[in-house]
A and B are shown apart, each in its own frame.
Chain A
């Protein structure tokens, strides 16, 4: 089970509000490569993992992603405080505002609400680890895209860089996880069996 720690993984203190930037960063809350998808992907995939090492890795990364979800929520929250009607309209934040005021809602930058299709869990650890590796790269690219819009806000840029770096570290660990798995399989044909289903 989980227990809440009353702190962010990395501190967030944003001086300047910016609803336009918030509407982009929101994609890492509830978008296709966002942190909800990441956490639920790994925490669902872990059931099919055949070794203690992989069960531990998926649990620990999935747990860290929940902390990142909270951080992205905190960024969006701080970027959308004390807005005037004028700020909202000028930033193009009005459509979101009509639906959610400045509450936090999981959706992509394009406005599409979170879709569980973004979570992939196939019940085959080779397949799932490849999915996880790809997911980390997609999230890294999304953070890179967000960074293009953060040039003049060092408070936001610093946090996004931290989150981006965690994607790189997770990718490295998942790569090690995949190698750990294939080292235990038939080296001439890794795909001979589903290591979770076939004994």
Chain B
């Protein structure tokens, strides 16, 4: 998948996980919501894995490529090219 498309998948899965997480903060025993949270969480982890394998780390503890400390590579998130 192309970089921006895959990043959109990471974003969407993360947002769904975060949104379900907020709901669970106030409804921690809602089993339906818990199931959904788990689906989003696994999707998020899978997309992050795919993204990092191809395009470098999303977090400092993410998967690095073989050619050095690619954490610092441009573009950074506030730059248009990253979006």
Q: Please determine whether B78 and A53 come into contact, CB atoms closer than 8 angstroms.
A: no
Partner of A52, one of B59, B73, B77, B78: B73
Q: Does A60 lie at the interface of the complex (its beta carbon under 8 Å from any beta carbon of B)?
A: yes
Which residues of A sit under 8 angstroms from B59, Cβ to Cβ?
3
Interface size on A, residues (CB 8 A): 10
Interface size on B, residues (CB 8 A): 9
Which residues of B sit under 8 angstroms from A1, Cβ to Cβ?
77
In this complex, what residue of B is CB-closest to A56? B72
Q: Does B55 lie at the interface of the complex (its beta carbon under 8 Å from any beta carbon of A)?
A: no
Q: Mark B47-62, 1 if CB is under 8 A from A, else 0.
A: 0000000000001100
Which residues of B sit under 8 angstroms from A56, Cβ to Cβ?
71-72
Q: Please determine whether B74 and A52 come into contact, CB atoms closer than 8 angstroms.
A: yes
Which residues of B sit under 8 angstroms from A52, Cβ to Cβ?
72-74, 76
Tell me the bound Cα distance from A129 to B20 in angstroms.
Answer: 40
Q: A: which residues have CB within 8 A of B?
A: 1, 3, 46-47, 52-53, 55-56, 59-60
- Ordered by A's residue number, 7 sampled pairs between the chains whose C-beta atoms are within 8 Å are A1-B77, A3-B59, A46-B76, A52-B73, A53-B72, A55-B72, A56-B71
